[in-house]
Amino acid sequence: MDSKVRGLAIFCALFIMGLILGGVYLINRGQGQGRSADAQAGEPADPGKGKKTQTAQEDAVDYYAWMGDETFFDEDKSDYEKRMENYGKKLSLFATSVEKDLRVQILNDLGELVTGEELYITLNGEAYKDLDRDGIVYIGDLTPGEYEVALEPTGDYKVPSTPLNIHVKDKVEYIPIDDISLLIKTEDEIDAEKEDTQEDGARADADDTEMTGIWQSEENRSFGIDVSKWNQEIDWEKVRAAGVEFAIIRCGYRGSTTGTLVEDPRFYQNVENARAAGVKVGLYFFTQATSAVEAVEEASMVLCLNNGEALDYPIFIDTEGAGGNGRADGLDTETRTEVCRAFCETIESAGYRAGIYASRNWYYDRLDMSRLEDPVIWLAEYREQPLYEGKYEMWQYTSGGSIDGIEGRVDFDVSFGANG
């Protein structure tokens, strides 16, 4: 046979064999799919049929068949779904009294204030509404004594079945409020432009002898600064290298319009980085308290934010104006003095040194220093030699300083043993 003819014959034979094998494969594949479809439709399978030729795909389908069984976990699914439906729906009450008042906080089972809901409580049977829907009901001018507080049923929430017993105090006790963290806001939650309106009260009293340079260290004197969010990003390594030994850092303020307690957005960052650079730390809080009760709240907030950390310098209450329209700008001397006393005594009850920051004129005209029990005095007076004749342990001698590591003006201070 001619070689060309022989090659053609071999090619044709192989081609025909390929067609036959392909046909057999397709037939078997179709039967396998039919058996799988029958099984899914509920038809019984022949245990002896196709046992040796069952495919890997069929094995997988049979092995994981429980995943397609909607009734397999019916009981557990139901319990889980019920738990999820009730998540956050179990309410509880937390109540505190400072002086002839009661603040009731309504919490979910995550410990969060329930906001945006129409909630009612009863106090010895008398109903009170959460008017601003912030999860807090404040009741003032109460007769001291024992009260029962209950939460009225609302929507699909689960409320406590028994009332909460609370004692309304006769007079303020200068001890930290345990639940103050629930009242602290961040600047993302408020209108900071309206709330943070602190003004430099000592600037109006400055004269041309004001020193703006860095204080040269002397025996028993330390050079420092005080800072807040207004100083923006601070390079604390450069600040320390420039000679700064301590920093009094603002931890927060009370809003001058609404009275909201607000954390300074750079507080934690400043404290951490200052300490890392070797700068000693103290704290201050800008007050807009209008009563001793609010002063206790402010001191409690500072203690909460500090979280038990040791401090090198005192915790100060900063009492000055808020632009003339602040809620505390018009306080009389007696009330302002009581605010400062309540703040300081609450701080000291927690084991920290407490102090007051104010300008010379405020110490003279808006505070009765004879009623204060020896707080650390931080004087703001911008002249070469202060005219203030009282005792002071720290002196803010300018708000117009300049130092490496901080852009813009900086408050400069000198300490005469305030860290002792």
The pLDDT, as a whole number, for residue 220 is 85
pLDDT value for 48: 40
pLDDT of residue 178: 86
The tens digit of pLDDT for each residue in 200-234 reads 878 888 999 999 999 987 888 999 999 999 999 99
Please write the tens of the pLDDT for every residue from 386-402: 999 999 999 999 999 99
pLDDT of residue 155: 85
| 75-84 pLDDT per residue, tens | 555 565 555 5
> Residue 317 has what pLDDT?
98
More confident residue, 171 or 332: 332
Sort residue 373 into left (φ over 0), alpha (ψ -120 to 50) or beta: beta
Is 60 exceeded by the pLDDT of residue 315?
Answer: yes
Please tell me the predicted confidence (pLDDT) of residue 60: 45
Count H helices and E strands in the chain, helices first.
9, 17
Nearest to 300 by CA among 419, 168, 183, 192: 183
pLDDT greater than 90 at residue 51: no
What tokens does 221 get? 């004197």
Q: Which residues contact 347 (CB under 8 A, 6 or more apart)?
A: 299, 302, 303, 315, 353, 354
The predicted model gives 80-108 an average pLDDT of 81
Q: Which pLDDT score is estimated for 20?
A: 60
Stretch 337-341: mean pLDDT? 98
Neighbours of 228 (CB within 10 A): 23
3-state class of 1 per DSSP?
coil
Which residues fall within 8 angstroms of residue 129, CB to CB, at 6 or more apart?
118, 119, 120, 137
**Is pLDDT at 415 greater than 90 in this prediction?**
yes
pLDDT at 154: 86
Per CATH, the architecture of 88-168 is what?
A: Sandwich (2.60)
| DSSP label of 158 | B
- Work out the pLDDT band at 9, boundaries 50, 70, 90: low
Longest dimension (CA), the chain: 132
Instruction: State the pLDDT confidence band at 89, using cuts at 50, 70 and 90.
Output: confident
The 10s digit of each residue's pLDDT in 347-404 is 999 999 999 999 999 999 999 999 998 999 999 999 999 999 999 999 999 999 999 9
- How far is Cα 260 from Cα 256, in angstroms, rounded to an integer? 8
pLDDT at 37: 38
Residue 34 has pLDDT above 80, yes or no: no
pLDDT (0 to 100) of residue 58: 41
Sequence spans of domains, the chain: 88-168, 180-415
**Range of lowest pLDDT (10-14, 141-145, 247-251):** 10-14
pLDDT of 12 strictly over 70: no
What was the pLDDT predicted at 27?
A: 52
Least confidently predicted of 30-34, 169-173, 372-376: 30-34
Predicted confidence band of residue 52 (pLDDT cuts 50, 70, 90): very low
Give the pLDDT band of residue 284 (cuts 50, 70, 90): very high
pLDDT bracket for residue 17 (50, 70, 90): low
- The model's pTM is 0.76
Q: What is the mean pLDDT of the chain?
A: 85
Helix pair 292-306, 333-349: axis angle to 10 deg: 30
Q: Yes or no: is domain 180-415 CATH 3.40.190.10?
A: no
Burial 309-324 (b: 16+ CB within 10 A, else e): eebebbbbbbbbbbee
Question: Which of 334, 264, 255 is closest to 297 using CA atoms?
Answer: 255
- For residue 26, the model assigns a pLDDT of 54
pLDDT of 270 strictly over 90: yes
Residue 285 has pLDDT above 80, yes or no: yes
Share above pLDDT 90 across residues of the chain, in percent, rounded to a whole number: 68
